[in-house]
Structure 1
Amino acid sequence: MHLSLPLAIGIVSICALILTSTLLILLFLYLRCHDHRRKDRTCALEKAETKDEICRYKWAEIELLTGNFSMPVVGQGGFSTVYLCTLPGSFEPIAVKVHRCGGGERLLRAFRQELELLRKIKHPRIVRLHGFSDDHEEEGALILEYLPNGSLHHKLHGNQGESAEVLTWQNRMRILFELTDAMEHLHSMDPPIVHNDITSTNVLLDCQLSTKLCDFGSVSAGFSAAVCRSGGASVAVGSPGYIDPYYLRTGLLSKKTDVYSFGVLILEVITGLPVVGSDGRNLKAQILPCLEGGLQDLMDPSLNGEYNIDEAVQMAALAVRCTGLQPGLRPSMVEIRAVMREKVRSAILTVD
């Protein structure tokens, strides 16, 4: 059977049209799928209102994101490293915190605890979670907002041989006041959250020097909880110099444990001294006996006398109350905020 030339051309044209249409449909579906995947990977850069919008990554993607862990390191802990990265298709920097759990149950539990808490909490003074990876047996990763001004510790003391920048008195008081906002929020949750590691290292600063509290691997939910015990010995979680001696002595954790650490942080901020001296003594033991002689000789010399002495007196008195030996006599975060709002005006000049 022979087809006429016009009929053959028509059949070929129809087949070509069908093939072209099929290819276009497949291309459309591919691009749509690829676009959804791209949005899934970059959705973390948008403000998440529900935890469902926080992206989950495979471990291979974390390796790719960090250049196989070769990107610049912007933070280092005992069992974690923070890398400065960018998500594909975006120029906005992010921080990738990689937990090296090494098969340790306690470290793995700390990672999962921090992950679940950050997925639940949405607060402007708490570091924001963009995504995570939890499919590796011995490692985990949190993708967090990046704070370009580093930590309060870095601003006060410098880092790795760098000289510290001078934070003005007003900025110091504002940073502390903003931190109380985050702490009060945690303490008012149901059940209350005890951060248990309030330190200058865990206070991060954005480009406007606004405060963001980070590192929730040591938190405890509830008004009090016992520390973990191993072989009959207490394993206290916290940072030297900041840790509540009542907690060390009894193993009982409460909101007032955070209050104690905040009191130590006040002393660190107004004096510019490290919380553990070269002689091994903590800052409270060094400073409190000297307060009766006046504050002028204790103030951070980098301030060059540019501070409000009345506010400094109020903050020192607040630090004494916060670091009292009896937790029940320490002020609550609500009271601390009220005192600062009323008597330390520098703290609220650029807040609210």
Structure 2
Amino acid sequence: MTTSLAVILGGAAGAVGLVALLVFLWFCLLHKRSVSRTSETGSSDPSLQAEQGIELSLLRGGPHPSDSREARRFMLDELNLATKNFSDINLIGQGKFGEVYKGLLNDGMIVAIKRRPGAPNQELIEEVRYLSSIRHRNIVILLGYCQENNQQMLVYEYIPNGSVSSHLYGAAQISNELLEFKNRLSVALGAAKGLEHLHALNPPLLHKDFNTRNVLVDENFVAKVADAGLTNLLGRIDAAGPSSRIVADDVFLDPEFIEFGRFSNKSNVYSFGVFLLELVSGQEALKSRFSESNQSMVEWVQNYQDTSDIAAIIDPRLSTSFTDESMKELIWLMAHCVNPSSERRPAMNYVVSELDRILEKEMNLTMIMGEGTPIVTLGSQLFTASR
């Protein structure tokens, strides 16, 4: 009985072993075919193949995949080459951080480089890492930094068409040409979206030097807010505190900040209202006054009523390229933004929604009036010769 049981158990064990061997051989055959197909046709899933490559690299101690939003540390030799040793030919401006140069990197990317004297500073690196992570269509991107040879440098994306101020009343202004009302509304909407994005960050980032010079336009006249967070950066790396680094022109500054030293998101709304005023008037608000009453343009808007003569404030170059209804709504929005009381000013998200509505309304009204279907044009064609 015992012998028979042993024979039965031995036979069962042998059968199990045989089945296991067959399963193993079948698995190996399938795996070989799979490898063969991959070697002949390449991976059917390139993203999976890439992920596997990254995993192997990490397991072998290789470099981590780079984050495109990470602040880049530029070498001085690279920036010297990009600017021809910071030649005066490439000097394009002077800002709060220092001289601004145009540069061409080895990879063909055009950048704007802000440079000033300064010893290496860890806080600059930390602030740049934060600011470079802010990405939005309507904000100028900070790409990275360089600290060598007792120089501090910030490297930004280059925006080719310069500032809005230069097109309204500065060096880029072209005689007998104008920026049509719909295009000015579009620029205003883009700038408002940039500020709205900054306010939506956690914690909110307040732009402490917002003005018409710090709104740039690209080749398609898409507005981009420049120097976001630069005041905070300067406050961290310099001896002066952030509050003493509020550097906007007085005309753009919130009256409550001037009087009480309080700066808030509504302070940005006030500055944006002055920006709208310059867009509509085509003049520099700081220097422009009405001769009859000696009022500043900001005071005129703050006292605006339905009965006011809006022609007094409108850029003559706009001619008849706008509807009275949309213009009056824009001036009303402007008046709310520059209200002396911050509590009575709208939030930036409301400003964005109103500008979006006014622009859409203006497009629809001008089409009804017989201007035809809007045509998308290049930025260089937005200026239309007046007749």
Q: Taking structure 1 as the reference length, what is the TM-score of the superposition?
A: 0.72
Cα 1:302–1:254 change in 2 (3 A) is same
Counterpart-to-counterpart distance in 1, 2:217 and 2:167:
9
**Aligned 8 A contact 1:156 1:165 in 2:** no
1:4-50 Cα deviation digits (max 9, x unpaired): xxxxxxxxxxxxxxxxxxxxxxxxxxxxxxxxxxxxxxxxxxxx954
Deviation at 1:228, TM superposition (A): 4.1
Count of residue pairs brought into register by the alignment: 288
Measured in 1, the distance between the counterparts of 2:245 and 2:295 equals: 21
C-alpha distance in 2 between matches for 1:63 and 1:323 = 44
Distance across 2 between alignment mates of 1:161 and 1:315: 23
SS in structure 2 of the partner of residue 183 of structure 1 = helix
| Aligned equivalents of 1:347, 1:50: Cα separation in 2 | 39
8 Å Cα contact 1:176/1:347 also seen in 2: no
2:276 aligns to what? 266
Match of 2:106 in 1: 88
CA contact (8 A) 1:257 1:327 kept: yes
Structure 1: runs of 5 or more not aligned: 1-47, 221-226
Name the residue aligned to 2:324: 309
Residues 212 and 335 (structure 1), Cα distance of their counterparts in 2 relative to 1, 3 Å cut: same
Matched-pair contact (CA < 8 Å) for 1:175–1:347: no
Following superposition, the deviation at residue 241 of structure 1 comes to: 1.4
Of 186, 189, 200, the residue aligned with 2:198 is 186
Mapping of 1:81-230 within 5 angstroms?
81-90=99-108, 92-98=109-115, 100-101=116-117, 115-137=128-150, 139-159=151-171, 163=175, 166-216=178-228, 217-219=230-232, 228=241
Distance (Å, rounded) in 1 between the aligned partners of 2:346 and 2:202: 20
Identify the residue that residue 249 of structure 2 maps to in structure 1.
Answer: 239
* Contact 2:128 2:144 (C-alpha < 8 Å) held by counterparts: no
Query: Closer, same or farther in 2 for the Cα pair 1:211/1:239, shift >3 Å?
Result: same
Counterparts of 1:332 and 1:163 in 2: how far apart (Å)?
37
Quick one: structure 1 residues 337 and 277, their matched pair in 2 at CA, closer, same or farther if it must change by over 3 Å? same
Distance 1:192 1:290, change over 3 A: closer
Contact 1:259 1:331 (C-alpha < 8 Å) held by counterparts: yes
Aligned match of 2:262: 252
- The 3 A distance-change label for structure 1 pair 49 and 241 is farther
SS in structure 1 of the partner of residue 353 of structure 2? helix
How many angstroms apart in 2 are the aligned matches of 1:188 and 1:333? 10
Change (3 A) 1:201 1:169: same
**Which residue identity is paired with 1:328?**
E
Specify which of 344, 349, 357 is matched with residue 342 of structure 1.
357
Matches within 5 A, 1:325-340: 325-340=340-355
Deviation at 1:114, TM superposition (A): 6.2
Structure 1 residues 112, 194: closer, same or farther in 2, change over 3 A? farther
TM-score scaled by structure 2? 0.66
* Alignment RMSD (CA, Å): 3.3
- Whether the 8 Å contact between 2:91 and 2:102 is mirrored in structure 1 is yes
- Partners of 1:143 and 1:348 in 2: CA distance: 38
Provide the rounded CA distance (Å) in 1 between the counterparts of 2:157 and 2:248.
Answer: 24
Q: CA deviation at 1:308?
A: 2.0
Distance in structure 2 (CA, Å) of the matches to 1:184 and 1:229: 21
Larger helix percent: 2
* C-alpha distance in 1 between matches for 2:298 and 2:216: 23
**Separation (CA, whole Å) in 1 of partners of 2:105 and 2:313:** 45
The answer as to 2:94 corresponding to 1:76 is yes
Residues 87 and 67 (structure 1), Cα distance of their counterparts in 2 relative to 1, 3 Å cut:
same
- The corresponding residue for 1:62 is 79
Is the deviation greater in 290-299 or in 155-164?
155-164
Code of the residue aligned with 2:329 in structure 1: it is Q
- What SS does structure 2 have at the residue aligned with 1:293? coil
Q: What's the CA shift string for 1:149-168, capped at 9, x where partnerless?
A: 11101111121886585211
1:75-99 deviations in whole A, cap 9, x for unaligned?
Answer: 2224422212211252x4222222x
Shift of 1:141: 1.5
Matched residues in 1 for 2:309 and 2:302: separation? 11
Q: Please state if 1:284 is matched with 2:274.
A: no
Give the CA deviation at 1:101: 4.7
CA deviations over 1:308-352 (Å, ceiling 9, x no partner): 22111111111111111111111001111122223332688899x
Whichever of the two has the greater Rg, that structure is 2
C-alpha displacement of 1:248: 1.3
How far the C-alpha of 1:112 sits from its partner, in A, is 5.7
Within-5 A mapping of 1:291-306: 292-306=307-321
Write the mapping of 1:33-52 to structure 2, written as runs, cut at 5 A. Answer: 50-52=68-70
Q: Tell me, yes or no, if the aligned pair for 2:231 and 2:246 is still in contact at 8 Å.
A: no
Name the CA distance, whole Å, in 1 between partners of 2:129 and 2:296: 33
Look up the SS of the partner of 2:248 in the other structure. coil
Q: Counterpart of 1:130 in 2: which secondary structure? A: strand
CA distance in 1, matches of 2:180, 2:267: 28
Structure 2 unmatched ranges of 5 or more: 1-65, 234-239, 365-373, 377-387
1:275 is displaced (CA, Å) by 1.8
